[in-house]
Amino acid sequence: MLLGVDTGGTFTDFVLLDGERLRVHKVLSTPDAPEKAILQGIEELGVADETLRVVHGSTVATNALLEGKGVRTLFITNRGFKDLLTIGRQARKELYNLTPEPVIPPVSEQLCIETGGRLSAKGEQLDPLTEEDLETICTQVEQLSPDAIAVNLLFSFLDDRAEKAIEAALPKGLFVSRSSLVLPEYKEYERGIATWLNSYVGPLVKGYLARLCDGVDAESLSVMQSSGGTIKADQAGQQAVNMLLSGPAGGLVGALRVGELAGYNRLLTFDMGGTSTDVALLDAAVPLTNEGNIAGYPVAVPMVDMHTIGAGGGSIAKIDDGGLLCVGPESAGASPGPACYGQGGKKATVTDANVVLGRLFPENFLGGGMALDKKAAYDAVGGVADELGYSVKEAAEGIIEIANEHMARALRVISIQRGVDPGQFRLASFGGAGGLHVCALAEALEMSSAIVPVHGGVLSAFGMLAAPRSRQLSHTLTGLLEGIEPAKIESLYAKMEQEGRAALMAEGVDEEGVRLERAMDLRYLGQSYTLKVLAESLEQIQLTFHELHRSRYGHSLELPIELVNLRLAVSGEMPQPKLAKLKEGKSTSLVATEGQQAVYSRGGMLFGERVKGPAIITEKVATTYIAPGWECEVDIVGNLLLEYS
């Protein structure tokens, strides 16, 4: 049995593949000990005694970073550079604010130590690492008693011997990250942040995965990486920085797979959960970026290219000091959760507003597995209504409208602001709350078609089953593209290929099933930022770069092209979980009528069935609201295809 698990801020989702049959399940998350919810779900699915292969999307690394609850980390760098992470790029969040709030540095001054081992940009030794340096480091480590160490020496990607010597000299048992291993690329600040982040959250991730492995009797346990591929749990802890977008990456892999089955590979996606909403643009592939940013830190390791905002079903509505209604980013989370959950929450949330508007039914929530307190929802939203001087229904509509605008703005960032017309894509909504807002968001972006995937409420967990085992490798090699010896490029690619193949084969991937994709980061001479181009013939690379630059920025230049980084994607065969085909015939999906609004059970819907809005479609893991003017058709595997009529 293959089990996909996605731990979210409010719910933990499960998708179990038992041969050809898919089973889905949800339980409330346990943020203080995420493994408890996973073990509870496995027990409730009745597979605690079965042989399982588990693929897990974890939020442990992300939450530790967002909450500032990583471990005590020591930063080791070259002499004269101890303030490297503090200075950063000298960028200010508020350019014209003369009295900005002071920014707390990632690492305090007393936890930054300096040593030798400095190289020039050409790899020449400028300040050798001596035995005295190593002894001094060990003495300082003993005095400072860190839980983890990050080693980031200048230009270590050209020669990593000094970093390896420091690692070898450190006390055994300490969690150590080397920049030459975490991110062997130029830009000392970004490389330093990635290395520090890896150590800052690494011991927490490693400990959590160890507890999970002890608690789950699994044949194998793999973890989703931010790049959309999986890695074995016993290796994931040492590469914790690659897990910062673990869960959301699963959602994009799942959306791509379901979209392919439905015949649509151009999707504008939004994943709305209880705490946040993630949006992305899929054009026949999961997009990756090396310019991610989480909690204000640049994360230069490969990760899915998405935009995240603090808007979800649990987003709290309140009145600000100016008397205006605000929604989010504060969330009620899993505990106490929205007022309607009956867990002690008193503040009005987006979920409570949907209950008030009749779009969530207390008796049908989670397939009847969780009762909603309708009175508590009315009381919570009523408190907001009293402050505004409106009716409870008007306040609920205002909460939904503001939440929708937050998400529409995020969708514009990922599409319109990049020169992409949303009308050329189909809006794909998933996550437990996504289906309630899909029609409104499509209208806001002037899109006339949308899709609510089958199992959309647990699509991130489904994506875990569709993700290949993979590694994303890179190495800086700078110079004019036409001036670099092809043999040098080939040598570095060969080294990365050997490393990637060995890693996947150690996880049981057959050597013949390993797929390789070479790429290069290129720019015009004099530019700072790069574009990623697949590595083909020299002539084709140049043509592709010019075309990509013209597409992205509206022009190309008659300047030499500079190579910056070599990249290699190494992956195993892509799993192909199948979806059962629906039958045709007489439907039994209509279960109730609330005024002019029909209520359907998604489990009873058949292939080709059509539903006109306004209507509600309920299922075990989500609810979909079909707004007036929209029509829904069920496809062969159960996706809801929405069209504006």
Q: Whole-angstrom Cα distance, residue 14 to residue 464?
A: 10
Last residue of a domain, one of 170, 198, 226: 198
pTM of the model: 0.87
Q: What's the mean pLDDT in 499-512?
A: 89
Nearest CA to 246 among 211, 188, 201?
Answer: 201
**pLDDT higher than threshold 90 for residue 121:** yes
Residues 94 and 134 in one domain: yes
In the chain, the percentage of residues whose pLDDT exceeds 70 is: 99
As for how many domains the chain has, the answer is 3
Do 91 and 188 lie in one domain? The reply is yes
- 3-state class of 369 per DSSP? coil
**Is 210 contained in some domain?**
no
Q: How confident is the model at residue 196 (pLDDT cuts 50, 70, 90)?
A: very high
The pLDDT assigned to 127 comes to 96
Query: Is the per-residue pLDDT at 180 higher than 90?
Result: yes
- In angstroms and rounded to an integer, the radius of gyration of the C-alpha atoms of the chain is 26
Domain membership flag for residue 517: yes
In a domain, 318, yes or no: no
Question: Which of the four pLDDT bands, split at 50, 70 and 90, describes residue 204?
Answer: very high
Query: What is the spatial distance between Cα 520 and Cα 523, in angstroms, rounded to a whole number?
Result: 10
pLDDT at 20 > cutoff 80: no
Rounded to a whole number, what is the distance in angstroms from the first to the last CA of the chain? Answer: 43
d(CA 115, CA 130): 9
- pLDDT tens per residue across span 544-568: 999 999 988 889 999 999 999 999 9
Q: What percent of the chain has pLDDT over 90?
A: 59
> Quick one: 612 and 507 in the same domain?
no
Contact criterion met (CB below 8 Å) for 432 and 11: yes
Compute CA 289 distance to the chain's CA centroid, rounded to the nearest angstrom.
12
Read off the amino acid at residue 617: I
Looking at the predicted structure, is the pLDDT value of residue 364 above 80?
no
pLDDT band at residue 308 under the 50/70/90 scheme? confident
Q: How confident is the model at residue 164 (pLDDT cuts 50, 70, 90)?
A: very high
Q: Are residues 80 and 194 in the same domain?
A: yes
Instruction: Note whether 567 and 585 are same-domain residues.
Output: no
Average pLDDT score, the chain:
90
Q: Within this chain, do residues 186 and 94 fall inside the same structural domain, yes or no?
A: yes
Q: How much is the pLDDT for 19?
A: 73
What residues does 253 pair with on adjacent strands?
Answer: none
Per-residue pLDDT at 93: 79
In a domain, 510, yes or no: yes
**pLDDT tens, position by position, 244-303:** 988 889 999 999 989 988 889 999 999 887 777 889 999 988 989 988 888 889 999 999
Same domain, 562 and 602: no
Q: Hey, CA dihedral for 521, 566, 120, 87, is it positive or negative?
A: positive
- Band of the pLDDT at 368, cuts 50, 70, 90? low
**Is residue 442 situated within a structural domain?**
no
Reply yes or no on whether the pLDDT at 414 is more than 70.
yes
The Cβ of residue 87 has, within 10 Å, a number of other Cβ atoms equal to: 10
Question: Could you tell me if 82 and 163 lie in one domain?
Answer: yes
Q: Is residue 610 part of a domain?
A: yes
pLDDT digits (tens, 9 = 90+) for 27-75: 888 888 888 999 999 999 988 878 888 999 988 888 888 788 899 999 9
Length of the chain: 645
Quote the tokens at residue 364.
């049908």
Residues 507 and 605 in one domain: no
DSSP state of 341: G
- pLDDT class of 354 with cuts at 50, 70, 90: very high
Q: CA distances (Å), 609 to each of 18, 612, 627, in order? A: 27, 10, 17
Query: Which two structure tokens, joined as six digits, stand for 266?
Result: 């151009």
What pLDDT shows up at residue 367?
65
Choose the final residue of a domain: 527, 544, 571: 571
**58 and 205 Cβ atoms separated by less than 8 Å:** yes
- 56 has which bridge partners? 5, 223
Name the pLDDT band for 357 (thresholds 50, 70, 90).
very high
* Same domain assignment for residues 80 and 193: yes
Q: Are residues 607 and 531 in the same domain?
A: no
Q: How far apart are the C-alpha atoms of 3 and 18, rounded to whole Å?
A: 9
CATH code where residue 176 lies: 3.40.50
Q: Which of 175, 198, 221 is the last residue of a domain?
A: 198
Range of the structural domain that residue 477 is part of:
470-571
87 with 193, same domain?
Answer: yes
6 domain residue, yes or no: no
Residues 6 or more apart in contact with residue 564 via CB below 8 angstroms: 186, 476, 477, 478, 520, 521, 522, 523, 530
Average pLDDT over residues 353-381: 84
Pick the range with the lowest mean pLDDT from 104-113, 349-358, 359-368, 624-633: 359-368
What is residue 389's three-state secondary structure? coil
Q: Which residue has the higher pLDDT, 140 or 63?
A: 140
For residue 636, is it within any domain? yes
pLDDT of res. 356: 93
